[in-house]
A and B are shown apart, each in its own frame.
Chain A
């Protein structure tokens, strides 16, 4: 068990290092000199050279990569070219919008998808199953930015239950902050919940046909008890895999959704940084997002170990 964990952890570290290398390399290859962007087209060559020296852009590639990674580890993410504040400060403010948004969406996704999928599977071929499957199909087909606008029209403009956009901030109390996040979270969660519902349904259908479910029924468990106690936990293994992948989609989704709802989050920061060629912010944000995805995948691996006792041993031999 400890060996399995150590292996997973080593893989995590290697992936993170590789991610920083790839991101750094891509940003190197991209055309555009940050100093020229900051100073504008008409800048004098000596001013440019001075700024390049100040930003450390004249140093060899290896040194700059080393400094950047060292900065990432120590929490010094550099200075934003456009905002002229430390990037860590920019991220520090906005992460409290994006992280809760992603987590609430993930929780919503799971709360909708797992009961709906299990319910549909337990009534295979009946009206309820067809209904859930049809809704899931619609949920997958609807683009989330369009659904976001629909939500704004209905719940913000017509009913006035939630703000149409903007973020009240956590210092106003969690109530108003959560109200600002409600519609974006629903818009983000819907397509993911639809996908996860279908995955859950087919996975549960598969496990329901397993011999051990019949064994559980032979012990006297009712169909529902056999379903929840024996079929669902075994069915969760593929579901957790998909959830890990979906978390990356949720992060990507925040870029669009935060723009639709004018939320001051990381997605919106990334969008603006790209538009303004604030390359250091882009680089740091991409590392942060990549790191999140890698860590989520690590957590998914841990979830496998918790769900399936066979893996706790098998992988000690396999890897």
Chain B
């Protein structure tokens, strides 16, 4: 059985003008030791997926479907039961390390808080655990290190603290929501390496959320491409990169600035492409047909009138498109 299994997850908001859907029937699994990537532009529902799993959706949001952790459906649990799982079995790393830490508490206190809360450790034992955790993420762990406040650290160091907090109780699933987006390019690589190393040694399941296909290629075993709340393409990362089928996936790939990937890619080095238009606002999307149709260079009449079916291309690789590319 998969460690985390999400099926037919939909998230919507009730508004005076009707329900707005943010996520539409998404399904995926994350196994132990597996690394799954979720990629898409801003506003397509990536963060909502993470918050739905953590049970931290905004109050006005409604989630349907199932999110099973070891067979237990998280959506049926109340907040107290979810609090017992958060931080202990499910952990999350956030995009903005500058604001994710409490400015008035020392990092030692914040790292120790999780183990004190869940495992009931005393002050000294928790401090020892915090020192170990901080050392594991590559920060100085002495009294000086633990006694520092977030404003005394750089962005990369803060993200290491956030990772240490997430690791505190040895979670089974780690959700990383754009963990490197707010960091310098030089720091990004270090943080990604740290994540790879930790999830591998701990045999955690990793759900990595990013808008960067380069990160997906480097870090994940499986990947999903999310567009306007739907998974438009999914498969083993290598398989998808070898034969990108959805026009949106190809568009994302063409928009990559990273030279080594672009040269080997289907469009060569010719120029840095942009996908015309924007991700539709949730209130406008998901009415009829394929949500990507208005921006798609290949769209036909049927794309605008009916929803494209999931087509299985090969081993585990499927796409939701009437005109999947690169298929012979």
Residues of A within 8 A of B (CB): 210-212, 214-223, 225, 229-230, 233-234, 307-310, 313
Contact = CB atoms under 8 A, between A and B. Distances in A.
A308 B103 contact: yes
B88 interface: yes
B155 interface: no
B103 A310 contact: yes
Given A212-B101, A221-B83, 8 more contacts: A211-B96, A211-B99, A214-B94, A217-B83, A219-B165, A220-B84, A220-B85, A221-B113
A212 B165 CA distance: 12
B168 interface: yes
Dominant secondary structure of chain A at its interface with chain B: helix
B242 interface: no
A309 B107 CA distance: 12
Contacts of B169: 220
B102 interface: yes
B14 interface: no
Contact of A221 (B94, B104, B117): B117
B103 A212 contact: yes
B104 A307 contact: yes
7 contacts: A214-B94, A215-B94, A217-B56, A219-B113, A222-B80, A230-B105, A234-B103
Given A220-B83, A309-B151, A215 B104 contact: no
Contact of A216 (B80, B102, B104): B102
Contacts of B127: none
B104 A219 contact: no
B86 A218 contact: yes
A220 B118 contact: yes
Nearest to B114: A219
A219 B171 CA distance: 10
Interface residues of B, number: 32
Interface in B88-141: 88, 91-92, 94, 96, 99-105, 113-114, 117-118
Contacts of A222: 79-80, 83
Top 3 nearest A-B pairs by Cβ distance? A220-B87, A219-B87, A211-B99
Contacts of B96: 211
Contacts of A214: 56, 94, 100
Contacts of B86: 217-220
B38 interface: no
B244 interface: no
Contacts, number: 76
A16 to B, nearest CB: 31
B101 A220 contact: no
A213 to B, nearest CB: 8
Contacts of B94: 211, 214-215, 218
B181 to A, nearest CB: 14
B149 interface: yes
B157 to A, nearest CB: 16
B104 A218 contact: no
B102 A212 contact: yes
A225 B114 CA distance: 12
B213 interface: no
A310 B165 contact: no
Contacts of A223: 79
A223 to B, nearest CB: 7
A218 B88 CA distance: 9
**Residue of A214, A215, A308 ringed by the most chain B CB atoms within 10 A:** A215
B120 to A, nearest CB: 12
Nearest to A312: B149
Nearest to A309: B149
Contacts of A309: 103-104, 149, 151
Given A215-B100, A309-B103, A309-B151, A220 B92 contact: no
Contact of A218 (B80, B92, B102): B92
A223 B85 CA distance: 14
**Residue of A218, A222, A230 ringed by the most chain B CB atoms within 10 A:** A218
B260 to A, nearest CB: 34
B162 interface: yes
A309 B101 CA distance: 13
B104 A308 contact: yes
A218 B83 contact: no
Nearest to A221: B117
Contact of B100 (A212, A221, A229, A307): A212
Given A212-B103, A215-B101, A310-B149, A220 B117 contact: yes
B145 to A, nearest CB: 15
A21 B14 CA distance: 64
Contacts of A212: 99-103
Nearest to A125: B59
A225 B100 contact: no
B99 A210 contact: yes
Contacts of B54: 218
A219 B103 CA distance: 16
Contacts of B114: 219-220
Contact of B91 (A218, A307, A313): A218
A234 B114 CA distance: 19
Contacts of B84: 220
Contacts of A229: 113
A81 B100 CA distance: 64
Nearest to B101: A212
B117 to A, nearest CB: 6
A306 to B, nearest CB: 10
A210 B104 CA distance: 13
Contacts of A233: 104
Contacts of B162: 215
Interface string B57-85: 00000000000000000000001100111
Contacts of A211: 94, 96, 99-100
Contacts of B103: 212, 234, 308-310
A220 B151 contact: no
